[in-house]
Every structure is written in C-alpha cells, then in structure tokens.
A = this chain, B = another copy of it.
Amino acid sequence: MHVLSSAVSKCDVPSPHENLLDRFQRVRNFTISLVSELSEADASAQSMSDTSPAKWHLAHTTWLFETFVLCEYVHTYHLYDNRFSFLFNSYYEAKGARIPRTQRGLITRPSLAEVIAYRFYVDQKMKEMIPLLPPAALELVWLGCQHEEQHQELLVTDILHLFSINPLEPTVWATPGQAMPTNPRLLQWITMAEGPVRIGNSGDGFSFDCEKPEHTTWLAPHAIADRVVTNREWQIFIDNGGYHNPALWLSDGWSWVKEHAIESPLYWRRDQHGGWTKHFGLDGVTLLDLDGPVRHVSYFEADAYARWAGARLPTEAEWEHAASSLNPSAGVFMDKAGVVQPLCAPDDDGLQQMFGDVWEWTGSAYLSYPGFVPEPGAVGEYNGKFMSGQFVLKGGSCATPRGHVRATYRNFFYPHQRWQFTGVRLAKDL
C-alpha cells in the first residue's frame, strides 16, 4: 500500500486537545520502540525497490509533521535541516524532487542517531504546539498519526524482508513463549443474502478519502468462509501440484510463477528432506505452524488456490458487509515491539479472524467509489493516484497497530506483491 493516500474531510478529531497529544506521543514512541533491536546498518539497508530502510520510515513520518503542520501553521518554526525535505519526501511531486526510490539504502548519512535527533526536535515542537493549533491543523496531526501507523507496519515487514535475504538468518526478536493453539475446526460457509447494502465510510470517524463516500452496492447471493486458509491446507495445494498446473492460474500469474520459479509462500523454507516444514520470521527460522494462517502469498497465489479449491475470493463489498458488525480492534494485531504472527482460528462459531492476523486479498480492484472527491493540496496530491492495477485487501494483520483499521479500510497492493502479512479467505457464489 502506498500510504498517505488520504485526507480528512471534516474535523473528526476527538476533543479535548489533550487526547490528540496523548495519541501523538504514543504513536511516536511506538515507532522508536520498533527499531530498538536494529543496528545502524540494519536501519539503513533497503532490500528491494518495494521496501524502504527503517531509518527512512523514521524520518519520513517526521518530515510529514514538519512539512504539513509545522511549516504550514507555525510561522516561527525553523526547519531542522532543509536538505531533509529532499531526502525524506516520498512521492509528492508538488513538494519538489526526490531521490530515486531504489537508492534509499545508499543514504548512509544522516545517521540513525541524527534521524532520532530530528524526530526529537520535531516532537518537541509538535507537543508544544498541538494545544495551540487550529482545527484544520489538528486534522493533519491526526492524519500524520494514521500515516505513521501505516509506516510502523511497513517498517516491520521491510525489516523481515531484509533479514530474509541474509544467509545467516538473523533473529530480530526472540520467539514468543506462548503456545500456538492448534486444530482449527473444519471450514464452515456462512451464507449471505442478495440485495442492496451500504459500503464505504460515512465520515463519522477518521477515514482515508478513498474509503468515502458511503454508497449503495448490490450483493449477489454468496457464502463466505468462517476462517482463513491455513498453512496445512496450503501444503496440500503444493502437494497437489498447485504451483505447476497452469489451468489454476491467471495468465499474468503463471508468467510470474515461471519467471521467479515460485514454489511456496514467500518465507517458507525447506527442511533437509526437501519438505516445506519451516519458515523464516522475525524470530529466525522455525517450524511452520500448520494450523496458523498461510501468509505472505500474492494475489496470484490466493486466486489460484481459490480456483483449485472450487471457490473464489470475496469481493471487497462482500467482505466489508460481513465485517460491518464486528469489532475492528479485536483480534491479533501488533501491540508491542516483538515477533508478530497470526494465530490459529478460535474454536468458535461465526466469522473468525476477520480483523488482524493477515490482510485478506479480495477479488476487487482498487478503484474509486462513486462520488469520490480528491482532496485539494499537496497532502492530497496523490489521492487516488494508485487506482490502476492493484487489488484491495481488508482487515489488517498481526503487524498492523491495534486500532488502525476498520471495516471500510482499503489496503491495496499489486497482484505479485507478498512481503506483507497477506492471506486468503474463500468465498463462493450461491
């Protein structure tokens, strides 16, 4: 997902101001906690063009507060270093040139310590000014916090990807001691009726602009699986030749499989017998948790799996409608710095794992809603800029900060991307 594709259209910041200040401080501190185990080199390297160095995430999120809040609303503010606007801008054409995305890992200076000093400088100003800012600025603070939460997830997944390339298989954090629950129930289908439903965001709380407006759509009769696909189920797909049967794949997907010799989800590792029983995570190489959700699969893989299973992926509207009455803050989310991993589905009736655990690929392209209105100004410059070629994912993951997502939340990636915690929930026509 390309972040900051958003803007707020009305003032939905909770009052009084102190609450926003608390949130600002909590978010900012949490980001710092995520890099506490990283070396200067870990924080500077970039493993592929889709990822960014941790140091860049730290600085870019800070740059946003500096540029859109302090520079715009605090006329006595002095830029920390005017060259940082160039270095840590992401894709805002209106804000000037930027370094090529593929070369972020070569910016070894400023150092991690200097970036943290930059954060400290901006944070001090922000904390001083938040009680004094006008509502329009407070909306931007709120937006900046949301934006930073997105980068927290990216920071964690980017580090995971970097370490996955290192033959030493480094461990960022120790494996969590908790025992993994096992034996998920048989997958159940939950039937959904035909008819008009309302989806999209009504604007009563914070939301990104691409979630709006709320509007009517029509659902065909269908059923949706009560839990996501597990690693054990995915092993059967592999054993059944799933990665070698072109009839299961989209044409672009089959080209991708062949070009990259794809044979399993991204971080699966073979054991000494050649079996797919291990995987690489933030705690290094461990045994694959067979009853946990499959993760780090692309849309192409999710779609092929669904076809193999005689099902399909849910549409965004189907998913959102099913999730609309659930609590979006309950589930397996990222609450603290440490190993994140999705868990086995609880042994309960009804829809499980809708929020948290893994982002769920939908069969819907990421496109604008009827009545979509791009926001003016540089923050909104890229609203809707990514509406070609990508698919929507819903529900958040174990690497998403708790409280960040909601049913209307729209994440999106290209169909070949899979370094996020992405998984699969099945649906079918009735």
Contacts and interface: CB of A to CB of B under 8 A. Distances in A.
Contact of A39 (B94, B108, B215, B251): B108
A299 interface: yes
B41 A108 contact: yes
A91 B249 CA distance: 13
Nearest to A215: B220
Number of copies: 4
Sort A-B residue pairs by CB-CB distance and give the 4 closest, nearest first: A365-B365, A220-B370, A40-B40, A41-B44
Interface string A127-166: 0000000000000000000000000000000000011011
A167 B86 contact: yes
Interface of A: 2, 39-45, 47, 55, 83, 86-87, 91, 93-94, 99, 103, 105-112, 162-163, 165-168, 170, 194, 196, 215-218, 220, 222, 246-247, 249-254, 299-300, 303, 312, 315, 363-365, 367-368, 370-372, 381-382, 384-389, 391, 415, 429
A300 B389 CA distance: 11
B168 A385 contact: no
Contacts of A387: 250
B389 A45 contact: no
Contacts of A315: 370
10 contacts: A40-B40, A41-B44, A41-B109, A45-B45, A86-B167, A93-B247, A220-B370, A303-B388, A365-B365, A372-B429
A108 B247 contact: no
Contacts of A251: 2, 91, 382, 385-386
Nearest to A318: B370
B168 A111 contact: no
